[in-house]
Amino acid sequence: MTQAYLRAWGGIAFLALSSVAFGLEVDHDVIQALRANSNDKIISVVVNLQGQLDLSSIGNNAGTELEKGPLIAKQLETFNSTSASPLIRFFKTANLAGLKEITPIWLTNSLRIRGTSDVIQKLLSMNGVESIVMDSGKSVSEFDDQSHALASLEKKKDTKVSWGVTKVRAPELWAQGVTGKGITVAMIDSGANLKHPDLLPNIWQNPGETGMDDKGKDRTTNGIDDDKNGYVDDVVGWNFEGKNNDPTDSEGHGSQTAGIVGGMGAGGTQTGVAPGVKLMILRSCCDAGAQIFESNTWEAMQYALKNGARVISMSLSVKHPANPSYAKWRRAGEVMLAAGVVHVNSAGNRGSGFTPHNVGAPATNPPAWAFPKQVLLTGLSSMIAIGATDQNDKLRYYSSIGPVTWEDIPEYKDFPYSDGKSGLIRPDVCGPSEVPSTAMTGAGYTSSFGGTSSATPNVAGVVALLLSAKPNLSVAQVTEALQMSTVQVETSFNNKCGAGRVDAVAAVDYAKARF
């Protein structure tokens, strides 16, 4: 009999368990579920395996930033498969009826396992497992803090350019032929209106699931995983909630974020900053309401990485009281940095009052480049955290304000805030918020979509334009170009708006002169 450490909200607890592997950390909620659960109810857990692949040398053989992602994805998959092989062999041999799912989350060297209590109990005695945590819904800031996130639908008859698009000066780049063409942006959200005339032409198509197969059947509907990526008929992306190939929007949130990145104006209103971009639709939430399952989002991120996305636009962040898996989010950001994928994420809508916990994860991750007034003590990630501004370049009152700290996260213990330290300045930049966008159904528009949820895709669209103009920029170079070319908001670099509000023309000019 050994003791397992339990991660509890109030601190570390101890519980005596039989047949528990030495050093295994077990989430308190997992123990509670095992104690209370009959063997006919399914429990979902994330099993974090021991060790991580060294990112310092992988990807060096890739010729361009675009080629890094699939190469690194392959190496991470191999590492995860090797780490998980004893566990997988055991379950195959045991042939347990209660085992419903084993999904590799190779982004963080983890597995999602769903099964009855007898299945989960067996995990406790397995070597090579670092920790076991519940795969449960966690509250997201963007959906339930502000009632103005969604607004009434209206059909516009006359072509009009969104004020947010004009504010970031995107039309001036379109006139130069810079539209985002050649760049794929992964929209990790509640799905999208796949039939909207502004979105349909720009929806990404998976080349491995289109055309005809060797039997003369249409690959889009043949019920076969033609490209062997683990997803059947994933033609335009995937629904990680429903475990199917239909990422149609369920909430309206994702349709609007997609419209701000790449809506091309066919229905009457030009909502998109980068109308030449391709939108990879990855639905990771929010059927369960204003919450996400982190494992679904990590799975969506690794799909984006493996399938060639250069940018991730994610208007979702997990609040501190929901106990986000900070270390795993940061590891995911480190992977994305090594792979050359720019992760643009909302800071959240909590405003101030909870310092240093106003900003939600993963926007708490550090950036890839240190602004001259930013103090970077240790590691970097691919994160560009986004705040929200109005038409007069004033900070929206709800925009989450930094700093953040990692001093209480055992795996990192950096960016201290206590004892008078400054922490990590968040956000990095701001974008326009409360702008029109594409509706969840039909061909209409929402009159105003707010929160940092709308600021984020405005910035993601600017990143797509920047990469379209300079395709081989690294994540650090993109971050530098954005921050060094902003319009100042209130004062210089600070915890309200970072370096300021983004300016697409100035960012491209800076990148062309600097790199």
Residue 354 forms part of a structural domain? yes
Do 429 and 394 share a structural domain? Answer: yes
Buried b or exposed e, range 369-397, using 16+ CB within 10 angstroms: bbbeebebeebbbbbbbbbbbbeebebbe
Do 147 and 129 share a structural domain? Answer: no
Instruction: Provide the token pair at 193.
Output: 């209106």
Residue-level pLDDT at 144 = 47
Residue-level pLDDT at 419 = 75
* Dihedral of alpha carbons 466, 472, 476, 480, sign: negative
Residue-level pLDDT at 325 = 95
Residue-level pLDDT at 94 = 87
Give the containing element (helix H, strand E) for 333: helix 326-339
Do 43 and 112 share a structural domain? Answer: yes
CA 252 – CA 394 distance, rounded (Å): 26
Residue-level pLDDT at 316 = 93
Residue-level pLDDT at 36 = 81
Contact (CB, 8 A) for 220 and 310: no
Residue 284 forms part of a structural domain? yes
Residue 495 forms part of a structural domain? no
DSSP letter (8 states) at residue 207? G
**Domain of residue 109, residue span:** 2-135
Q: What is the DSSP string of 185-218?
A: EEEEES-B-TT-TTTGGGB---GGGSSB-TTS-B
| DSSP E strands, 50-149 | 99-105, 110-115, 129-134, 137-139
CA 109 – CA 94 distance, rounded (Å): 23
Residue-level pLDDT at 373 = 84
* Average pLDDT of adjacent 10-residue blocks, the chain of 515 residues: 34 44 83 81 94 82 77 94 95 89 97 94 91 88 46 49 97 98 97 96 95 91 92 96 94 95 94 98 83 94 96 94 95 96 96 93 96 80 97 95 95 88 94 94 91 97 98 97 94 92 98 98
Do 127 and 78 share a structural domain? Answer: yes
Residue 213 forms part of a structural domain? no
Do 195 and 92 share a structural domain? Answer: no
Residue 515 forms part of a structural domain? no
Residue-level pLDDT at 85 = 95
Residue-level pLDDT at 378 = 73
Residue 487 forms part of a structural domain? no
Do 72 and 148 share a structural domain? Answer: no
Do 191 and 77 share a structural domain? Answer: no
Q: At 156, which CATH number?
A: 3.40.50.200
Instruction: Provide the token pair at 359.
Output: 């900003």
Contact (CB, 8 A) for 386 and 433: no
Do 348 and 402 share a structural domain? Answer: yes
Residue 151 forms part of a structural domain? yes
Domain boundary (135, 170, 188) is at: 135
Do 282 and 254 share a structural domain? Answer: yes
Residue-level pLDDT at 33 = 87
Do 124 and 154 share a structural domain? Answer: no
Residue 179 forms part of a structural domain? yes
Domain boundary (88, 116, 135) is at: 135
Residue-level pLDDT at 421 = 80
Do 270 and 128 share a structural domain? Answer: no
Do 439 and 354 share a structural domain? Answer: yes
Contact (CB, 8 A) for 502 and 430: yes
Q: How many domains does the chain have?
A: 2
Domain boundary (135, 154, 185) is at: 135
